[in-house]
Amino acid sequence: MSSEMLPAFSETCNVERQKNLSEDGEQNQKPGSSERFQPISKRQMKKLMKQKQWEEQRELRKQKRKEKRKRKQLERQCQPESNSDGSDRKRIRRDVVHSPLRLIIDCSFDSLMVLKDIKKLHKQIQRCYAENRRALHPVQFYLTSHGGQLKKNMDENDKGWVNWKDIHIKPEHYSEFIQKEDLIYLTSDSPNVLKELDESKAYVIGGLVDHNHHKGLTYKQASDHGIDHAQLPLGNFVKMNSRKVLAVNHVFEIILEYLETRDWQEAFFTILPQRKGAVPTDQACESCSHDKKFARVEGGLNSDSSEEENRHELDSTNEEEKQDKENSTESTVNSVPH
């Protein structure tokens, strides 16, 4: 073959190869084309419809977002007027005045409680912490002698306690860092009754849930340590069906309420649970006097009725005697021979 015929031959080979490749491609595309025209499933149809709706509602969503932003701007502008009554918590927090009064929960009774009571004490401490954070006049809150079962229970069930704010949690006893003359132990067994709170003092609440198994223990401990002691003036304002021993959180909350209202009676009846059967002392006295009067009247009525019954019995006996006499005379007259 001459050199002039080589280029022409190569061109024809290339054309044939391209034809073969195109034919192969068409054959490969045939099954694909059949797949393209397969019917769409219901699930795919739903997806397509949703996508179409989402795209159609794009402008509507933009409009809604604009309206929401405008509404929030109006609310922010009106907020100072609507919250002038102090109903908003954030606004209330601005009016908070911290009290210098120190309120201590003494946790040195850990060994005297079973795990069930430890858990109850833990819940009461949680309540005290929450109420102090919400109060208008929060106190300087101390948790002393913290350790043992209580700390273990808090570590297991309330790991967030390590991040608590506005509280002093100390493993030491309160007497190690507070002067004795500043301490007043609150115990229901004390003969001393508080008239008002001295905010320069540190008041101690016994962290003990004992169900009256250790009566007078906190009073004894205060006396042994030479610490001043007192009880809340509960008996001056409240008449209760049960003993005057209150839970830790109730004592804590009563003090917070008194710091806000400066009224013991209002503080007691705001905090004390209904199950205690608390009644104001003046109402209790009125009810007692009313019961006594009612008893006297009832007793008088009973005595009058008994006298009437006695008289009726005497009258009936006299009538019976008369009838017996008449019957006896009739029988004697009938028995006499004519």
Residues annotated catalytic, as ranges: 210
| Total H helices, total E strands in the chain | 11, 8
Q: Which residues contact 215 (CB under 8 A, 6 or more apart)?
A: 189
How many Å apart are CA 12 and CA 23, to the nearest integer?
A: 17
38: left (phi over 0), alpha (psi -120 to 50) or beta: beta
Reading the block at residue 321, the tokens are 């005697």
**148-165: b (≥16 Cβ within 10 Å) or e:** bbbbeebeeeeeebeebe
Quick one: tokens of 144? 């002393």
* Separation between Cα atoms, residue 165 and residue 134, nearest integer Å: 12
